Structure 1
Amino acid sequence: TEEEMDDLLDLEPVPQTPVFDMGTDTRTEGDAATLTVTPVGLQERRGSNVSLTLDMCTPGCTEPYGYGAQLSPRDQSAQEYLRQGTHILTPAMLHTRAMDDQSLQAEFYETPMNFVDPKEYNYPGLVRKNRYKTILPNTHSRVILQSQDEEDFLTTYINANYLKGYDDEERAYIATQGPTVNTVGDFWRMVWQERCPIIVMITNLEEKNEKCAEYWPEDTVTHEGIEIAVVTVTQEDDYSLRVFTLKCGEEERSLRQYWYTSWPDQKTPDKAPPLLELVQEVERAREEAPPSSGPTIVHCSAGIGRTGCFIATSVLCKQLRTEGVVDILRTTCQLRLDRGGMIQTCEQYQFVHHVLSLYEKQLSHTAEE
């Protein structure tokens, strides 16, 4: 149904696989591959006891097992898979593969999600800082907010991760959840601290329920000592662009927000052109930003599904232009190492293939002219 498709594409996060990645699976001899490969529809999963298991794993039930922890063999093999996964596609292979739903499905379900075990974050009060309690930032790459009181974990915490760009460019992006009423201040602290020149927002404020708080003002507002003023608002076909001035102390900076609203019905290859256009528009803006600028922030609601598609597409377009091939599996693995669940559904994985296939055709068409 229409509604199920919407859910598949943004998914009220009862994520599909974290239950397998959390060590809560009771099968003793279970082998990782057989656990994750079943391509069940999300609806079936959602009604299953997966959601029960997830609810039982709320933060606070046991000690966080921190960095010293030994990874279980399954977690270890997941890490190895994500470090080594690769499938280089030439243009011809890319076009064929984009149409091959079965192969893409097999590849998608074999790739570990790498969701965080909620036990990693056993801090009172943290629940208010996360939009979805099972979607948490992987610890090694999380954005740490500077705070007066470094001892107070809560003041340093935001549900956001740094992600590498093309050719292992460090901290090219920050992927984060759609700010909630409780985290708007933290979000602006991050924007300022990280010197972010661009925000890409890929969600409506509501889609059957709240997906993101309206964290920007109509004209001006001050959050955490940062004054945010809207300079211009431009409406394009598939997104609106807001240009803000941010002031803190004596310093003033410019920030662009691309709010892409035509994603929710993103089910078909013919929705590829607007996404591709946005990726290219953001790349241009990125090149024009001051050299001292930090990462581009990308968020949807949970900060893994549409966000993963956008960042992957952006990285892969560069790879295609530079090397003439793409490795969509490799990029997906790379992103998931730093933020679990990036590219959240099989449909999204197929969609990324469609977008790249379209981009390759545009490139070769331009080359011929």
Structure 2
Amino acid sequence: MGYYVGPAVILGLLWTRPPLNLLILFFFIVTHMVWKWRYGSGLLASDSTPRDIGDRRQSVSRQPSFTLSEWTDAQEDLLDLDPVPQTPVFDIGSDIRTEADAATLTVTPVGLQERRGSNVSLTLDMCTPGCTEPYGYGASPLSPRDQSAQEYLLQGTHMLTPDMLHTRAIDDQSLQAEFYETPMNFVDPKEYNYPGLVRKNRYKTILPNTHSRVVLKSEDEDDFLTTYINANYLKGYNEEERAYIATQGPTVNTVGDFWRMVWQEKSPIIVMITNLEEKNEKCAEYWPEDTVKHEGIEITVVSVTQEDDYSLRVFTLKCEDEERSLRQYWYTSWPDQKTPDKAPPLLELVQKVERARDDAPPSSGPTIVHCSAGIGRTGCFIATSILCKQLRTEGVVDILKTTCQLRLDRGGMIQTCEQYQFVHHVLSLYEKQLSHSAEE
């Protein structure tokens, strides 16, 4: 490797033999440059501290963007971080763990089709405030990945008998694998390109799938903004068309649009599954204490009934010479991105809504269901309602097929793995109730 020439030797030569100063200095400079080029360090570098660049780079690469405590605390409010199309995912594996080593967290940018929401794989959506203009609108050919996702959602099925349902409901590992395999089918924001549209959406990447979106009637139908609302029609049991409308919680900017939709669609029922605030605003208070008028529609509160887990408001809606009745079930015992502590109150609410829907006039339109983003809790409620009907009618359930059907019409329905598991638990409980009633 050659000999090391220390600085003491060089200085001694320069001091004792002045005529050789220039020659020695020139030789030293050349040798120093060659040494540095060949071995990556100068002659004057100390060997006392070894430098392992590989280890240093590895330690830097392991540093997560968020501390573990921030990462775990973020799950309840994750949608409030202003989503963007390319979202970093902090993934600690597919199995549920209560603790994890922060050094093992990895950040992987993924497309919208690949986004997953759960307690173990959390999507953290980050964007600079104000950079909110959407990116494009219009039909475009499906990519191979999107085509594959569409095919999966059209064909996905897993029929469960009662015994299979009970076994499946406690098989967390299989449920997780099934959930993560099912495409979310989120909309690419590039499909929307209208200035000002951002003011119509609560979350930037939670957008209505274009083929099933609710189109508001407008005097100027060429003005896209006047026809737009973040809402989708969803099929019900046995492929019933437009049985439900899933939508985001109204914002201050969209309260008028929301009431236009309620009136236009002749909806007899609204199911609200969110609090007005959960750390941040989740939904605007779109109803009055007494009477208010939006978009020519007069909304009057007739009665308010408070139950243990929900409240019921009955409204009278008037527009020109027509008058209708509307019921709002406001379920307040379901935490954001989590699941209720108990399943029976949800089953009770599903059954009450079903009976109210049966009692509505035949000309009534879809039941409107919303939470904050209109995909997580909303998806759980609608899936539970559909599957309860299937279980009563057929004696079996296909939770996977129902989830796929919902996601075809609105991306991200049943947002987290925990919610997917909860739907199985609720259906298992409901089947036991049905069996017990039959025995009596």
Compute the TM-score of the two structures, normalised by the length of structure 1.
0.85
CA deviations on 1:239-274 (whole Å, 9 max, x unpaired) are 000000000000000000000000018956751111
Task: Name 1:4's counterpart in structure 2.
Answer: 74
Moved more, 51-60 or 210-219: 51-60
The 2-side partners of 1:125 and 1:271 are apart by 41
CA deviations on 1:320-349 (whole Å, 9 max, x unpaired) are 000000000000000000000000000000
Q: Aligned with 1:279: secondary structure?
A: helix
8 Å Cα contact 2:113-2:185 kept in structure 1: no
Cα pair distance change 1:287/1:356, threshold 3 Å:
same
Shift of 1:74: 0.6
Cα pair distance change 1:33/1:361, threshold 3 Å:
farther
Cα pair distance change 1:42/1:79, threshold 3 Å:
closer
CA deviations on 1:293-329 (whole Å, 9 max, x unpaired) are 0000000000000000000000000000000000000
8 Å Cα contact 1:116-1:137 kept in structure 2: yes
Does residue 269 (structure 1) correspond to residue 340 (structure 2)? The answer is yes
Q: Aligned with 1:48: secondary structure?
A: coil
CA deviations on 1:132-180 (whole Å, 9 max, x unpaired) are 0000000000000000100000000000000000000000000000000
Q: Aligned with 1:104: secondary structure?
A: helix
Task: Name 2:27's counterpart in structure 1.
Answer: none
CA deviations on 1:58-84 (whole Å, 9 max, x unpaired) are 999999998985511110000000000
8 Å Cα contact 2:339-2:419 kept in structure 1: no
8 Å Cα contact 1:18-1:113 kept in structure 2: no
Q: Aligned with 1:352: secondary structure?
A: helix
Q: Aligned with 2:348: secondary structure?
A: helix
Shift of 1:43: 19
Cα pair distance change 1:78/1:28, threshold 3 Å:
farther
Cα pair distance change 1:167/1:234, threshold 3 Å:
same
Unaligned runs of 5+ in 2: 1-72
Cα pair distance change 1:6/1:18, threshold 3 Å:
closer
Moved more, 16-25 or 162-171: 16-25
8 Å Cα contact 1:9-1:266 kept in structure 2: no
Shift of 1:85: 0.1
Shift of 1:15: 9.2
Q: Aligned with 1:228: secondary structure?
A: strand
Unaligned runs of 5+ in 1: none
The 1-side partners of 2:101 and 2:145 are apart by 8
Q: How many aligned residue pairs are there? A: 367
Larger-gyration structure (1/2): 2
Shift of 1:33: 26
Task: Name 2:46's counterpart in structure 1.
Answer: none
8 Å Cα contact 1:22-1:117 kept in structure 2: no
Cα pair distance change 1:349/1:134, threshold 3 Å:
same
The 2-side partners of 1:313 and 1:47 are apart by 19
Cα pair distance change 1:287/1:52, threshold 3 Å:
closer
The 1-side partners of 2:95 and 2:327 are apart by 44
Cα pair distance change 1:14/1:348, threshold 3 Å:
farther
CA deviations on 1:215-247 (whole Å, 9 max, x unpaired) are 000000000000000000000110000000000
The 1-side partners of 2:343 and 2:182 are apart by 24
The 1-side partners of 2:336 and 2:99 are apart by 41
Cα pair distance change 1:41/1:55, threshold 3 Å:
closer
Q: Aligned with 1:19: secondary structure?
A: strand
Q: Aligned with 1:15: secondary structure?
A: coil
Cα pair distance change 1:260/1:31, threshold 3 Å:
closer
The 2-side partners of 1:341 and 1:46 are apart by 8
Moved more, 255-264 or 269-278: 269-278
8 Å Cα contact 1:60-1:123 kept in structure 2: no
User: What is the aligned-residue RMSD (CA, Å)?
Assistant: 6.4
- Once superposed, which parts of structure 1, at least 4 consecutive aligned residues long, lie more than 2 Å away? 3-70, 265-270
Q: Aligned with 1:47: secondary structure?
A: coil
Task: Name 1:109's counterpart in structure 2.
Answer: 180
The 2-side partners of 1:175 and 1:167 are apart by 18
Cα pair distance change 1:62/1:365, threshold 3 Å:
closer
Cα pair distance change 1:33/1:140, threshold 3 Å:
farther
8 Å Cα contact 1:240-1:259 kept in structure 2: yes
Compute the TM-score of the two structures, normalised by the length of structure 2.
0.72
Shift of 1:35: 16
Task: Name 2:164's counterpart in structure 1.
Answer: 93
Q: Aligned with 1:143: secondary structure?
A: strand
Moved more, 256-265 or 72-81: 256-265
The 2-side partners of 1:134 and 1:58 are apart by 14
Task: Name 2:368's counterpart in structure 1.
Answer: 297
Shift of 1:5: 6.0
- Counterparts of residues 9-48 of structure 1 (less than 5 Å): none
Q: Aligned with 1:9: secondary structure?
A: helix
Cα pair distance change 1:320/1:14, threshold 3 Å:
farther
8 Å Cα contact 1:5-1:267 kept in structure 2: no
Cα pair distance change 1:255/1:53, threshold 3 Å:
closer
The 2-side partners of 1:136 and 1:41 are apart by 15
Does residue 58 (structure 1) correspond to residue 128 (structure 2)? The answer is yes
Q: Aligned with 1:275: secondary structure?
A: helix
Shift of 1:6: 3.5
**Share of identical aligned residues, percent?**
91
Moved more, 36-45 or 302-311: 36-45
Task: Name 1:191's counterpart in structure 2.
Answer: 262
Q: Aligned with 1:234: secondary structure?
A: strand
